[in-house]
């Protein structure tokens, strides 16, 4: 993808759905080095597919890039496209992880979806593409489990 095709640096309309959202990738200038890149989205929203009410999550995406990096503006637009998208927590979390994995073909990727309670039950969803590379430092995702008032 050439720079003139990227969404970065120009006005971009918010995509109406995850399917319409364009994810851009850029070459990894450190492709010869194994390292972890992390994106945190503490205000992810989607809609309950049954009631249409909003659901909220804290997403943490860790990946070990190979030849490509995800461009952060396009990732922001993609994640925001879920705002009017009706899907269960599990579907949203895994769909984000798989789409990034398919686009980037990283050495490894994981996503943690820490969903806020609705109906009294918090749901945390985790997906990864396989075993992480040997000797890579993987920090904790830093999101405490839900404790309620207890």
Burial of 148 (0-12, 13-18, 19+ CB in 10 A): exposed
CA dist 32 and 13 (Å) reads: 35
Q: Which of 3, 4, 32, 48 is catalytic?
A: 48
70 appears as a binding residue in the annotation: yes
Residue 22 among known ligand-binding residues: no
DSSP state, 130? S
Query: Residue 118 in contact with residue 55, Cβ under 8 Å?
Result: yes
Q: Which residues contact 16 (CB under 8 A, 6 or more apart)?
A: 81, 84
User: In the numeric block, which tokens belong to residue 125?
Assistant: 């969803």
Does the active-site annotation cover 91? Answer: no
Helix axes 72-80, 89-104, angle to 10 degrees: 150
User: Known binder of ligand: residue 19?
Assistant: no
Give the SS3 label for residue 23. coil
Which entry of 3, 4, 41, 55 is annotated as an active-site residue? 55
43 in a labelled binding site = no
Residue 55 known to be catalytic: yes
Q: Residue ranges for the binding site for substrate?
A: 70-72, 89-90
**Residues labelled catalytic:** 48, 55
Q: Residue ranges for the binding site?
A: 70-72, 89-90
């Amino acid at each position: 993808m050439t720079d003139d095709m990227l969404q970065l640096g120009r006005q971009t309309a918010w995509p109406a759905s995850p399917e319409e959202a364009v994810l851009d990738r850029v070459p990894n200038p450190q492709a010869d080095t194994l390292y972890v890149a992390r994106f945190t989205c503490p205000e992810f929203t989607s809609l309950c597919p049954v009631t249409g009410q909003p659901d909220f999550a804290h997403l943490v995406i860790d990946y070990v890039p190979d030849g490509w990096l995800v461009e952060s503006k396009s990732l922001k637009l993609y994640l925001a496209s879920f705002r009017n998208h009706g899907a269960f927590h599990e579907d949203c979390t895994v769909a984000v992880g798989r789409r990034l994995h398919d686009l980037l073909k990283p050495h490894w990727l994981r996503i943690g979806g820490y969903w806020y309670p609705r109906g009294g039950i918090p749901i945390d969803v985790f997906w990864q593409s396989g075993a992480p590379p040997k000797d890579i430092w993987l920090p904790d995702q830093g999101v405490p489990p839900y404790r309620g008032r207890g």
